[in-house]
Amino acid sequence: MLLTKHGTKDDARWAMDGYFLPPGLTLGTLLELPNEAMLQLLKNLAQHEPAGGAQAAPIDPHQEVWAAGVTYLRSRDARRVESTVAAMYNHVYEAPRPELFFKSTGWRVMGNQMPVHIRSDSRWNVPEPELVLVINRYSEIVGYCAGNDVSSRDIEGENPLYLPQAKIYNGSCALGHGIVLCQPEEIKDIPIRLKIERLQETIFAGETTTATMKRTLAELVEYLTRQLDFPNGVFLMTGTCLVPGDAFTLQPGDLVSIQVGELAIENHVQIVE
């Protein structure tokens, strides 16, 4: 099953496998249900109206996006290069407790074909392609989508306490193009691809799979939802290991293309003042 969200003349509407779901049905309502009950509800809903309209980010405005950091060896090594306290990232990579941080609220999230932003007060900005888990109120993984955790490496590198400023700002998070609903055990060895184009030329391309992640998905979810409730569900970005070289930084006009499994998002880059 594939859930997508579409802009219409009246309001945004959710669709499943190319057909609109009933008006007024939200993702938050679906994620209030246990996974099996949600899937049964979706199977029972009549679907006759083909979905149309521009695709929107597959998230409700009030839902939250969180992120895990240093879950891949490549991410640890990149953080060590940028940071003034490199040893800290060795500890995070090896520690039992993962790094988790708030990334965005739903109304700030960009969807497929929408612009992502880089900070005007940063000189070193990069995309981070990631598998993003969709989790219901019962801490069950119900599916996944593709994500881009745009980051300012120089700001975080100057001082780890600046991480919120490096990670959380307008247009720094993109999700799309929809949500694949599946069982948690199906989310394994998911391919992740990143391509960056500048003036119609590819300046970076890389590919990996989630098999290289150090931590398990269940482990990340357990830590995120430990003594922290998400009544309408939550999105969790699971980290990246596709990191452009240290001389690379995004520029306005760049086109960032990310594929995670069967999902894809493309976003042009703009600078946010």
Peptide bond into 177 cis (omega under 30): yes
Tokens 């307008």 appear where? Answer: 170
pLDDT at 55 over 80: yes
What percent of the chain lies above the pLDDT cut of 70? 93
Give the strand pairing for 151-152 and 125-126. Answer: antiparallel
Q: Is the pTM of this model over 0.85?
A: yes
Please say if the pLDDT value at position 88 is more than 70.
no
Per-residue CA distances from 243 to 19, 79, 126 (Å)? 37, 10, 8
Predicted local distance difference test score (pLDDT) of residue 29: 97
263-272 and 116-119 strand pairing? parallel
Angle at 21 between CA 182 and CA 109, to 5 degrees: 70
CA 223 – CA 97 distance, rounded (Å): 7
Q: Which residue's entry shows tokens 């839902």?
A: 63
Q: Determine the Cα–Cα distance for residues 201 and 204; give it in Å rounded to an integer.
A: 9
Over residues 179-233, the pLDDT tens digits come to 999 999 999 999 999 999 999 999 999 999 998 888 899 999 999 999 999 999 9
| pLDDT score at 273 | 73
Question: Bridge partners of 104?
Answer: 65
